[in-house]
Amino acid sequence: MGLRSEEHQRASRIPSQFSKEERVAMKEALKGAIQIPTVTFSSEKSNTTALAEFGKYIHKVFPTVVSTSFIQHEVVEEYSHLFTIQGSDPSLQPYLLMAHFDVVPAPEEGWEVPPFSGLERDGVIYGRGTLDDKNSVMALLQALELLLIRKYIPRRSFFISLGHDEESSGTGAQRISALLQSRGVQLAFIVDEGGFILDDFIPNFKKPIALIAVSEKGSMNLMLQVNMTSGHSSAPPKETSIGILAAAVSRLEQTPMPIIFGSGTLVTVLQQLANEFPFPVNIILSNPWLFEPLISRFMERNPLTNAIIRTTTALTIFKAGVKFNVIPPVAQATVNFRIHPGQTVQEVLELTKNIVADNRVQFHVLSAFDPLPVSPSDDKALGYQLLCQTVQSVFPEVNITAPVTSIGNTDSRFFTNLTTGIYRFYPIYIQPEDFKRIHGVNEKISVQAYETQVKFIFELIQNADTDQEPVSHLHKL
């Protein structure tokens, strides 16, 4: 794709090379960020002292960003941050880079180092938020700081949105989206957390694959409730609220939602992978419809690939009973569904009621949204192409880039009114065991991976200064 003439790019390009002092400063800045325990416990409870401290911290470590005349910094919804970087060419449509600095809780059990210590061991920084998502927050500001120090003036305007409550599906990013909308902003594209460079994941396949998420699964939190008469445990009824509810949720767990294979990004990934395998795997992968049962059986075995082919059902909360000799009148359970792009909230609700098939069980939808629209990934999709171009230059060993659907949700879902091009991508290698560390124990990032993430943003911002305008796309579903 002719994003911009090579000659023009070369002339004004700032090389992504950082001095030893800069490299030390950037890793120390990340460690400092990890040490601020910006924990979101629930939508009602977060560490607001830490959230405020984080705001002061970014002022301290990125002095050039906050003092540059063409950058406006606003605090939104008390703790979130919006940076507006005014480009020199107002004819170019702006874009948005997003991340969040709240983190999920990290009880110390099982951690090799305290989760908020930011300790470095053997070239690896440990701590909650090193992958999700303080690394991205810090890399965005760090890359901008380094560009500004080198007197870089962007041509294309852009925004940096740093949310404070992504982990509780809060309002920080929503308010930033509303603010941009009230200012009449339309964006060329958005980049948020999500996809990554998958490494050593597929058996007997050693090549890395850059997965750029062009959509997100939908979600539903459904509360199931059973009310029965309470009483003395010495003369129990034949069935209790707990027993009926336990049987209902067990049926849900034992009856996975149907496999939906047909549409969208999965077929594209498989077809791209097909070229990399010898006979007969190449034939199987390039004809996914024909070999659907075989491929599905293989994908079902791994929780990550299983999540790609169906709506998932996760039993996450179970509440009943207060005393060993009292039959509780009420039992409640919450089920978290991640909805495949081929289904809707309504369809999943109906299927769930049919699986439970017990009219003593009541259903209460606590929160829900349908799968997100699919952003374009063709050769005219500016955001997607810029990410591919930057992957190629920063990770020359990665030859396969493919669009996927994110199995988790991101703050970018609140921005669908502002653009059709929403891409979710961490420019880092993730192996299966790293994936478990996100929201798990011993979350960590190597110093080298973090430096490369900064380099990626440094390059992406410069690549975005292309004359190319995005072609208007309708959302594909």
Ligand X SMILES: CCCCCCCC/C=C\CCCCCCCC(=O)N[C@@H](Cc1ccccc1)C(=O)O
Say which of 120, 166, 193, 216 is annotated catalytic: 166
The reply to whether 102 sits near Zn ion by the rule CB under 5 A is no
- Residue 434 near Zn ion by CB under 5 A: no
Smaller CB separation from ligand X, 154 or 427: 427
- Residue 269 corresponds to which amino acid? V
- The binding site for ligand X (CB under 6 A) comprises 166-169, 193-195, 211, 213, 269, 304-305, 308, 404, 406-410
Smallest distance, Zn ion to C-beta of residue 192, A: 9
Residue 29 contact partner, candidates ligand X, Zn ion, none, CB within 5 to 8 A by sort of partner: none
Name residues whose C-beta falls within 8 Å of residue 362's C-beta, 6 or more positions apart in sequence.
224, 225, 226, 227
- Annotation says 166 is catalytic: yes
Q: Which residue stretch of 152-160, 186-194, 236-244, 248-256 sits at the interface with Zn ion (rule: CB under 5 A)?
A: 186-194
- How many C-beta neighbours within 10 Å does residue 281 have? 15
**Residue 93 or residue 305: which is nearer to ligand X going by CB?**
305
Pick between residue 54 and residue 196 the one whose CB is nearest to ligand X: 196
294-311: b (≥16 Cβ within 10 Å) or e:
ebbeebeeeeebbbbbbb
Q: Are 381 and 401 in contact (CB under 8 A)?
A: no
132 counts as binding Zn ion under rule CB under 5 A: yes
Choose among ligand X, Zn ion, none what residue 24 binds, the Cβ cut-off being 5 to 8 Å by kind.
Answer: none
Told to check if 165 binds Zn ion by CB under 5 A, we report no
Determine, following the binding rule CB under 5 A, whether residue 459 of this chain makes contact with Zn ion. no
Spatial contact of 315 and 252, defined as CB atoms under 8 Å apart: yes
Minimum CB separation of residue 196 from ligand X in Å reads: 7
Please say which residue, 167 or 370, places its beta carbon nearer to Zn ion. Answer: 167
Separation of CA 296 from chain center:
24
Q: How far is the CB of 5 from ligand X (least distance, A)?
A: 34
Q: What is the C-alpha R_g of the chain?
A: 24
Q: Minimum CB separation from Zn ion for residue 409, in Å?
A: 9
The residue whose Cβ lies closest to ligand X is 408
CA distances in angstroms from 69 to 87, 90, 137, 226, listed in the order given: 12, 16, 21, 60
* Shortest distance (Å) from residue 31 CB to Zn ion: 19
Residue 133 within binding range of Zn ion, rule CB under 5 A = yes
Q: Which does 163 bind (CB under 5 to 8 A by kind): ligand X, Zn ion, none?
A: none
352 binding partner (options ligand X, Zn ion, none; Cβ < 5 to 8 Å by kind): none
Q: Minimum Å distance from CB 172 to ligand X?
A: 12
CA 408/CA 211 separation, integer angstroms: 14
Residue 213: contacted member of ligand X, Zn ion, none (CB under 5 to 8 Å, by partner type): ligand X
Is 102 labeled as catalytic in the residue annotation?
yes
Catalytic (active-site) positions? 102, 166
Residues binding Zn ion (CB under 5 A): 132-133, 193
